[in-house]
Amino acid sequence: MELSLRNTLTRESDVIGPLDGATFRFYCCGPTVYGPAHIGNLRTFVLQDVFRRFIESLGIETCHVRNITDVDDKTIRESQRSGLSLQEFTQQWQRKFTNDCQALNILPPAHEPSAVAHIADQIRLIERLIDQGHAYQAENGSVYFRISSFKEYGKLSRLKLSGIQKNASDRLVDNDEYDKESWRDFALWKTWKSEDGPNRWESPWGPGRPGWHIECSAMSMHYLGESFDLHSGGIDLIFPHHENEIAQSEAATGKPFAQHWFHIAHLRVNGEKMSKSLGNLYTLDEVVDRGFQPAALRYLLLSGHYRQPLNFTWESLAAAASTLRRILGHAEGVDPELLENAGDTSLETFIFNPVLEALCEDLNTPKALGVLNVGLQGLKALDDGAQQAARRDLARILQMLGLPWQFQKSRTETRVPPEVEALALQREKARIAHKWDEADLLREALLKQGWEVRDEVGGFEINRTEGNV
RNA sequence: GGCGCGGUCGCCAAGUGGUAAGGCCGAGGACUGCAAAUCCUCUAUCGUCGGUUCGAUUCCGACCCGCGCCUCCA
């Protein structure tokens, strides 16, 4: 079995395998750490994680690099606002990001470089570009990439230079167009300005800081070499970020940069892109505060194809939570150690194979989940042996998708207010005394307060009604 | 203006040139003091109009609607 994955560069599907025949080397553009990641950001990282888990499960060794962007306009601006140093500020958000990833069961990359820690690499790369005539220092002191020197510019996004409308997105940051040879040229090194405060690094072009694009080129080449297998990020990074990375990197090395480009579509809310200005940003903390487990979000994010926008609603999250809870019910009683020595094909049964095939077709996670559910139908009617085999399949699939084997005990359980607890206990007493009317009234009272009580053998459980998983 | 994506059951979402996976919700049943959970069963002709074809939701064209990118947004 091999994975065919759509390549943004060619707009065709390629079979995924390591260029060097040994290790699949890939780079993912990581977060800019100036605030909490929103669940749209997390979609990208979850899909990249599934990609990695899947190719590893196919027996391919990987080297996964995901950077931390800790120097740019936003990190500098926000750190100053917060009164912290850039380093203190970004480290705090990096820790938050790491926690979110952990909660979502995203594997840590093999290397997680910070842009600030690789400024020397970036400077060397810029020097190479200047030496070859691909970059120049302007009168304002900044260094720009000369787009006219790279004939293939636009090959990823397929935007023609002539068709690029100036500041079409109204996001133009620097008003430096008169300093550049062409307004399309982009900054490699930004000369220090007073508003940057203490955030400056020495360079052959004077104090300043690197441009965003050069950071990723330098870091990816540092860890993966001048040519590597795959580069990934959110779909919005195609232009200009990845286009510029290609231009810089290939102009400097004369070699192809990344073989394959893997882009993940956006998560939407109410049919629109998440953004601060629309006020429709959600974070993992908000998801958890509403009583959902991170795994439910992960399931939801997998329920749409990565090349298709996915519309987030609280209703769809609740649906994901319900489905996942049911699926995990089937995984109960599977010994995780069974998987340790399960590298054999005996596991490939009627459940496993269809899922594998779906994932091999351009990482079709929604189809995979669909056929998983089909496989699970009628499971309980099977004989013990078949059920055991099916459960091991399931466990292996969950591992591949990065889903947990069981939900954690409800996190809200410990936060039940005493008065709610008291009502529930009162109801339990009434039940034991077979005072059904009283018990039902108390249950309704609890429900009105947003708490649901469920009877279990020898006791009960209370949960928040929303996202009660 | 340029480039690109999409419109499939109430909601989410796959898919195919031969009459449409799956999930959630809902309905019915089993179970249960009643609920919940669980299990079983049921629920769509694919934006509009043309064309190609023996046959199109799937290919082509037009149109309508929604969305993304066009210099630092995942």
| The pLDDT value given to residue A392 | 85
Q: Are residues A23 and A64 in the same domain?
A: yes
In this predicted model, what pLDDT tens digit does every residue of A288-341 receive, in sequence order? 988 899 999 999 999 999 999 999 988 899 999 999 999 999 887 776 666 655
Whether residue A16 lies inside any domain: the answer is yes
What pLDDT score was predicted for residue A252?
97
Protein CA A318 to sugar C1' B23 (Å) = 11
Number of residues in chain A: 469
Domain-embedded: residue A431: yes
Write out the DSSP string of A131-199. HTTSEEE-TTS-EEE-GGG-TTTTTTT---GGGPPTTTTS------TTTSSSTT--EEEEE--GGGTT-
A359 in the same domain as A292 = yes
Å separating the CA of residue A450 from the C1' of nucleotide B29: 30
A37 and A108, same domain (yes or no): yes
Q: Which nucleotide is nearest to A321 (CA to C1')?
A: B24
Range of the domain at A306: 268-401
Give me chain A's average pLDDT, please: 89
pLDDT in the model for residue A387: 84
Nucleotide showing the shortest C1' distance to residue A31 CA: B74
A409 or A77, higher pLDDT:
A77
Give residue A304's pLDDT: 95
Question: Is residue A434, in this structure, part of any structural domain at all?
Answer: yes
pLDDT tens, position by position, A274-291: 877 777 889 999 999 888
Tokens of A222: 């540092």
- Check if the interface score ipTM surpasses 0.85: yes
Structural domain includes residue A64? yes
Which of A223-237, A262-276, A369-383, A412-426 shows the lowest per-residue confidence on average (mean pLDDT)? A412-426
Look at residues A217, A248, A264 and tell me which one is the last residue of a structural domain: A264
A392 and A427 together in one domain: no
In a shared domain, residues A239 and A285: no
- At residue A321, the pLDDT reads 93
Overall number of domains in chain A: 3
Q: What is the DSSP string of A236-298?
A: GGIIIIIHHHHHHHHHHHSS--EEEEEEEPPEEETTEE--TTTT---BHHHHHHTT--HHHHH
- Check whether residue A8 and residue A61 sit in a common domain: yes
pLDDT of residue A336: 64
Strand B–CB A429 distance below 7 A: no
Q: Which nucleotides of B are covered by protein (CB under 7 A)?
A: 1-6, 11-15, 21-25, 33-41, 66-74
Residue A43 Cβ < 7 Å to strand B = yes
Q: Does residue A219 lie within any of the structural domains?
A: yes
Q: Are residues A431 and A309 in the same domain?
A: no
Would A469 be classed as within a structural domain? no
Q: Is the pLDDT of residue A413 over 50?
A: no
Look up the CATH number of the domain holding residue A193: 3.40.50.620
Give the closest nucleotide to A312 (alpha carbon vs C1'). B12
| pLDDT for the residue A163 | 66
Residue A174: the pLDDT is 66
A184, burial (CB in 10 Å: exposed 0-12, middle 13-18, buried 19+): middle
Chain A residues 431-460, Cβ below 7 A from strand B: 431, 436-437, 439-440, 443, 452-456
Domain boundary residue, one of A380, A401, A422: A401
pLDDT tens digits, A130-165: 999 999 999 999 999 999 999 999 999 988 776 667
Q: Does residue A79 sit in the same domain as residue A152?
A: yes
pLDDT at A348: 55
Q: Over 50: is that where the pLDDT of A369 sits?
A: yes
Report residues 256-295 of A contacting strand B, contact meaning Cβ closer than 7 Å: 264, 266-268, 271-275
> Does one domain contain both A226 and A248?
yes
What letter does residue A114 receive in the DSSP assignment?
B
Task: Give one DSSP letter per residue of A43-104, joined into a string.
Answer: HHHHHHHHHHHHHHHTT-EEEEEE-BB--SHHHHHHHHHHTS-HHHHHHHHHHHHHHHHHHT
Among A245, A264, A283, where does a domain finish?
A264
Residue A358's pLDDT is 95
**Residues A258 and A272 reside in one and the same domain:** no
